[in-house]
Amino acid sequence: MIRSSLFALMCVFPTNLSAQHAHQDGAMPTEVGQATFASISEIVEILNNDSGTNWSKVNIDALRSHLLDMDRVTMRAEVDVTTNAKQVVFEVTASGAAVGSIQRMITAHSPMLAAETGWDVQVAETSNGMTMTITVDQNHAFLRVNGLGFFGVMTIGAHHQEHHLMIATGSNPHH
């Protein structure tokens, strides 16, 4: 009898534990999970909703590899910065798989960064990463580059989502 009374009370007065499963208003979570998974999920949804998707060219594994590169650069790279006049030099280094990720990401992003900003962006491969040198002609641009730092300048340009879609659909996003 005590058990059935406790059960009845729990049904009438939900605890925090039961309340979290009680979706009374029908609300559903919108976050699909970890960032890489969420990016892949977003692209898969776009492809599924596009009747023109050429499934023979779709390569979600290539997108995953690119997203892993992004993660390695963001989370594992070390950056030393030197400045002179209107130039900022980023020495970007790491070890292991992150070295290749740095080299692929900087090589691919530098032309887009230069086109987007008008800055002179030069890169050179090193044994443990890359050197990215950004030269500008105005003091406010120098302050911007220096303030953003390497990780900030790597985000410049509204091309990332389109870039991910191009990778997933087998197109070359780096031409």
**Which pLDDT score, from 0 to 100, does residue 160 have?**
64
The Cα–Cα gap between 175 and 172 comes to 6
Beta bridge partners of 90: 81, 132
Give the model's pLDDT for residue 8: 46
Residue 11 pLDDT:
47
Report, as an integer, the average pLDDT of 54-59.
95
In the predicted model, is pLDDT for residue 9 greater than 50?
no
Check pLDDT > 80 for residue 24: no
Question: In this model, does residue 138 exceed pLDDT 70?
Answer: yes
Query: What was the pLDDT predicted at 25?
Result: 66
Q: 122: which strand partners?
A: 133
**Domain parsing of the chain, residue ranges:** 35-168
Residues 159 and 117: beta-carbon distance below 8 Å: no
